[in-house]
Amino acid sequence: MSCVIFGAGKIARGFIGHLLYLSGIPFTFVEKSDALADLINERGQYFVNILGNAKESCTVTNAKALKFSQVDEIAGAIADSDAVFTAVGGKNLCQIAPILAKGIAKKCEKGGVLNIVTCENWKQPAAMLRETITPLLHDEQREYFSTQVGVTEAVIMRSAIEANADQCKADPLVVNVQNFWELPVDASRIVGELPNMKGVKRVEAFTGFLERKFYTYNAANGTTAYLGALLGYEKIANAAHDERILKVLDGVYSETARALSAKHHFPLEEQLAFTRTSKAKLQDYTIVDFIERNARDPIRKLGPDDRLVGSARLVLEYGIKPENLCVAIAAAIYYKSENDIFAEKLAQIRENEGVDAVLQKVCGLDPNGELAMMIKEKIKLLKERGWIHA
């Protein structure tokens, strides 16, 4: 029994690889960065630091990685594996489809079932991956892919935090992670069985589970990060205790909870309980996480289907005014960071072309539409409060 993990970043190392290691299941990373792959092969191990629960920290040994250029070796590893996990970022899934297709073709020759588990904060990543891979296969391989290969989704609930300079000096591959151990997986799209892996929770009624997490946890995270940035905070936990931010955050939880409950028929109280787990995570001082990391790449995070605008559109669709989400979007539109090229690009659009251009080009909104007008009202409000200086 063995597994392949596409990606070797913090989630791949600090969650998927960690759980496989603790389960005694050998695995191989497949990594786009040659330098990172070389470092993993050179060191052969890395430390996983469990924040707030040091006794559970451990060193993952026998770590190894293949580079994207090693296509034949990757195909062989997939053919020999029982499951493939992806942790590459949703926008990069299409890039790995040709490599996966070669592995599936080789697995078809060898026989046996295979499951591919997407571990991405992305809308419908499994469907996207299946649709991208299918045209790359021949007829016999397509038949095998449709019947013997499961492509399913997992929800990543553990946060992985960048290590500090001292930690990286001791181990450049070290990962700081949240003390969370559960990996919910959509059971309906699994073929056969997944490897007996620690933490995996098969969820039969998975519909909306990923969206529920994204528009609860990620929306709250974005709200805290962008408002925290405006108010001068450096760390998420500190911002999440500011009463001014909490008032907006609680409003965001209420808005998204009512919409998600209506769409997916979760009991509202159950969804509100879910929001409390998100809030507890944001306020956990043992998770030393920085505003800059969470606010990074605001152009993507202001996208029409992403955590803030996507949440607001969902809320509005179900007849709820996204008043607090619009405050968070207003803050994100005015996010500034000299170390973030995307924040710089956002500032250029805002300053040279105006807020309407941001709403249209970045958020995918009609500048004169209801949601855009609400956002502009909140920008005015934040300026009146002195939170936005522009």
Q: Which two tokens stand for residue 186?
A: 């959509």
Instruction: Output the CA torsion 42→89→6→187 (10° steps).
Output: 140
DSSP 340-367: -HHHHHHHHHHHHH-HHHHHHHTS---T
- 217 to 16, 156, 209, 279, 327: CA distances (angstroms): 20, 10, 12, 8, 17
User: 146: part of which helix (H) or strand (E)?
Assistant: helix 139-148
Q: What average pLDDT score do residues 302-324 get?
A: 97
- What are the CB-based long-range contacts (under 8 Å, 24+) for 140-147? 140/108, 141/104, 141/105, 141/108, 144/104, 144/107, 144/108, 145/104, 145/108, 147/191
**Does position 66 have pLDDT exceeding 90, yes or no?**
yes
Rounded-to-integer distance, Cα 216 and Cα 250, Å: 11
pTM more than 0.85: yes
- CA atoms of 197 and 57, how far apart (whole Å): 18
pLDDT band at 121 (very low <50, low <70, confident <90, very high): confident
109: pLDDT confidence band, cut at 50, 70 and 90?
very high
pLDDT number for residue 336: 96
| Partners of 117 in the β-ladder | 85, 152
Pairing verdict, β 27-31 and 65-67: parallel
Q: Tell me what pLDDT residue 365 has.
A: 98
User: Which residues fall within 8 angstroms of residue 377, CB to CB, at 6 or more apart?
Assistant: 326
Please tell me the CATH code under which domain 209-385 is placed. 1.10.1040.10
Per-residue burial over 333-351, b if 16 or more Cβ lie within 10 Å, else e, is bbbbbeebebbeebbebbe
206 has a pLDDT exceeding 90: no
Q: What integer pLDDT is reported at residue 327 of this predicted model?
A: 98
- CB–CB of 184/209 below 8 Å? yes
- What is the mean pLDDT of the segment spanning 54-77? 97
Task: Tell me: pLDDT of 232 over 90.
Answer: yes
CATH class given for the domain over 3-203: alpha beta
Give the pLDDT band of residue 30 (cuts 50, 70, 90).
very high
- Write down the pLDDT at residue 381: 98
**Mean pLDDT, residues 318-346:** 97
Q: Note the pLDDT of residue 47.
A: 98
Residue 205 has pLDDT above 80, yes or no: no
What is the DSSP secondary structure assignment for residue 82, as one 8-state letter?
S
pLDDT digits (tens, 9 = 90+) for 153-202: 999 999 999 899 999 999 999 999 999 999 999 999 999 999 999 999 99
Average of per-residue pLDDT across 33-55: 97
Q: How confident is the model over 134-149, as a mean pLDDT?
A: 96
Q: Which residues of 10-39 are buried (b: 16+ CB within 10 A; e: fewer)?
A: bbbbbbbbbbbbbbebebbbbbbeeebbeb
What are the domain boundaries of the chain?
3-203, 209-385
Residue 266 has pLDDT above 90, yes or no: no
**Per-residue model confidence (pLDDT) at position 124:** 87
